[in-house]
Chain A
């Protein structure tokens, strides 16, 4: 009986060893370990054995059953692994092929620039005024008169203004400063405002000039606002916009609506001040106009210049974008070539 049992075990082990597939394993299981399998059939015969052999053979049979079970499971595991590995191998794909298209577009670089500028000033407490309070079609009253441009003064020629056929006093605004007095008239100090917008100049279109472009205007009015504050705020803007602390210089200039007035240069970002074509060899790039708001402008807006003071500034969006992105032709912004728009 023992030999018979051993023979079953050997037969089973050989089959297990030879098993190539999961089906082979099932077969072995069926043949030896199932209810009608060889081992079970053998066990049925144990009851006919002599009493002293019954426990020994029974125990041996169980042992062998367990061992075979173990071997089968081991083999099963190996075959399953092989199967998975085979599948993995067969399912291999070219992961360098492009993903299924998910499209996203881009904002226009000028919008991005305006948003960046506005965000920096918002961080310093400036509120954004949108277009409806800041008309592009404007009267001379707000574009010039209220801003202390004397009638028939050459300062009115500083910008080549577009006049209209509608009325002699209706123009296309030449700067976003038209909104200064409009804002001050409707709100009371303290005021911190930025106003982005489109402005117009009667100039021939070229790589450097367009007949319309964008500005961001801003001003701050409160008690005790000084030229020093203007320097502090604008230096901070330049630091944040250009990403690092760059030397700046404030030089005296003239705008009718500010006194004292300044033009602000930043060290050339191309040559770092050595002098190059971009900065006309000066080492400096003019990026902002600013000044302390002229007392006449405050008075025009109904604000007492003996109590309040403030500063105003303006910058050209296209110029800032051209410097930052190294764009060499202003017309590219308005041509909207998709290959251009995709770059930013």
Chain B
């Protein structure tokens, strides 16, 4: 809502208060002023002048030399416009005046200038150069011929006066959703009267008796939708321009002037906050009702759109058809036009809830809805109507025939008790009782009684939508008294925060990945079909949570996998020439798991740790060539994480073949050993098909770790110290040739099984295939660590142990051959 200072001053005297103070006070008390706009002429020092003579410019075939009389002397001006004739009265700008540049719209000061050798004593102006409304534009953007708009214009007048431009200020305010009363000049004035403790000037109440000719009936068919409905019938209206002052006020509020009838309805809405609607009387058959739409019914609204209606929509209707969306927008079939002389003017209280539902169901939002859905002042419905009647009589020559209404415009009283000690309890400060009462009275609350501990207030009709409880009164007092008067304090008690295992784990994982050179990414959890298809990743459509009102097809549902988004990030970075990427994300996936209830969506949100590695392990290293990331780099990361989470002894790595976007020969799953083995992570190389389809220029390795499942398995207990061994450990190496397809994991299993309690660990330290090794075989070397915690190991003990291990390997794989 935009409101001008001049208009506000009509209801509350704000003299002596600067516009900055007003804007600040409104903002601080809850009506944010987003902009304080200075309203002033865009030109200065321009007078009306009469054209006396037009001659051709001696050095140009399209320029003229124009002699004008500015009320004092004659001036000669060079002018290129083709629409001028002697005797016309035009805006004349002398040297030193300010006008706008035609092309840029910037203001500039007129300097003495010679055009084709002849000095021009100023210039004649077009509407564009003055910055006045487009309605003053002449054909081909010629000079503004003032007589066309102001028939009685005189020479030598200041153009500001001609246009009725007064310096003013417009406050662009953003009313909150609870304050319908602040969507009017009077409402904002009332607020200012409370803030600055200045008296509100009451608008006069107009009454008018019905004539005997009046015969119009109204009816509310559904009381839920409308509490009060009134119609005034006016005849013999003459459509014309609105008076200058009204145009100015509308323009200051950002509303375009159309004609006197439309302007007056808008004017009253802005001033009183009550939307009005004018119907053409002869399109109504002297009857209007408010009812719910019948299914299938259609209405074409003023904007030309046809709406097929559902039951939630509330309409105005004659006996047999709908003529508008009640409280939202009028219908084309009852619209007023240039030929209209008689109107039915509607002023009503449409119930906020049903109005909001109705406008949403119809998909139409208007200034009227913005007010009705917040709640208009029901006791103001009739005064607003009569204010419009008064203006139409005065400025459109209307004859008042009569008015009628249905419903009741008197509200039940709301009386609230305010306990003064609650001020201290909620706000932390004592507001003097007299101050509390003064503030509330200035806001229109009526004091009904008081003693030392409490006072009772009657809520004015225009605040019944948002003030119903004691806490609401406390807020009213606090915001007008000023939040800045409340001293900041800190709660006296101290409380220790709880830090959960989940938090610790997340922090730990972040630290680990960052320390290892990974960058954390955050991708959109809203995705579309497209990205799944692009990445070659499938999703379960039955479990996919789809959005009902997506803004674009890229964001239609919540993701079930982080992989498509991660690939997308990789692709974008590749395209930007960034090839070495180690990325991770801890993000949620979403699956519909159970039917929704009133309090539970039934959607399971699971956090997954996923990431990718691609490019060189050590890029830009000058001492040796960078080495490309491979499967074992990504496996190393996964292993390390599982080790830190103390799960390494309970898991097994198995080939991963059932996830189609992984390379079937270079991917693994991590399985938790147990009765029902559980998948804790998958990782590996991206399938070559995906690399090709996504046009990725190099291999990519992915990992997905199901951290929520892991969290359930984790032992968060504090580790206990074990005595350090006194006797040294010994190590022995063994190398053997074995079939290429024997997995390392199996060899280790056999080594462990064969050895005694002396066994500590074994490391694979060499794998060789190629020359001197038979096709289909590999040479592997293991280092075995043995330790006796109670004695120094003898060579014999060690040899015995090694022999057992070697024998076990020979026994398991008969064709294996030890290399000595």
Contacts and interface: CB of A to CB of B under 8 A. Distances in A.
Interface string A62-91: 000000000000000000000000000000
A286 to B, nearest CB: 9
B497 A106 contact: no
Nearest to B626: A101
Given A226-B427, A251-B27, A335-B572, A205 B551 contact: yes
B176 interface: yes
A287 to B, nearest CB: 15
Nearest to B354: A152
A165 interface: yes
B366 interface: no
Contacts of B522: 108, 110-111, 333-334, 336
A250 B548 contact: no
Contacts of B424: 226
A278 to B, nearest CB: 15
B484 A135 contact: no
Contacts of B583: 336, 338
Interface string B407-427: 000000000000000001111
Contact of A106 (B176, B520, B526, B588): B520
Interface stretch (A19-27, A28-36, A45-53, A259-267): A259-267
Interface in A246-289: 249-254, 256, 259-263, 280
A56 interface: no
Contacts of A204: 551-552
Given A142-B599, A162-B550, A228-B488, 19 more contacts: A103-B618, A104-B517, A105-B517, A130-B506, A137-B590, A153-B353, A155-B178, A164-B548, A165-B545, A170-B596, A204-B552, A227-B427, A229-B428, A233-B490, A249-B484, A252-B475, A254-B176, A295-B469, A341-B521
B29 interface: yes
Contacts of A202: 547, 549-551
A141 B598 contact: yes
A122 B494 CA distance: 11
Contact of B352 (A153, A261, A309, A335): A153
B694 interface: no
Contact of B545 (A104, A137, A142): A137
B28 interface: yes
Interface string B506-544: 110010011111111111111000000000000000000
A165 B176 CA distance: 30
A250 B484 contact: yes
A137 B578 CA distance: 35
Interface of A: 97-98, 100-101, 103-108, 110-111, 115, 122, 125-128, 130-132, 135-139, 141-142, 150-155, 157-158, 162-167, 169-170, 172, 190, 192, 198, 200, 202-205, 211-212, 220, 222, 224-229, 231-233, 235-236, 249-254, 256, 259-263, 280, 292, 294-295, 309, 333-339, 341-342
Interface stretch (B51-59, B601-609, B696-704): B601-609
A154 B520 contact: no
Contacts of A224: 425
A136 B605 contact: yes
B520 A97 contact: no
Main secondary structure of the interface of A (DSSP, over half): mixed
A106 B573 contact: no
Contacts of A150: 353
Contact of A164 (B425, B520, B547): B547
B623 A100 contact: yes
A334 B177 CA distance: 31
A172 to B, nearest CB: 7
Most buried by B among A138, A166, A202: A166
Interface string B155-186: 00000000000000000000011110000000
B551 A203 contact: yes
Contacts of A126: 497
Contacts of A107: 510, 514, 520
Given A103-B516, A105-B516, A337 B545 contact: no
Nearest 8 A-B pairs (CB), nearest first? A228-B428, A103-B517, A226-B428, A252-B30, A254-B176, A125-B495, A252-B479, A260-B475
Contacts of B489: 226, 228-229, 231-232
Contact of A227 (B478, B507, B546, B598): B478
Contacts of B27: 251
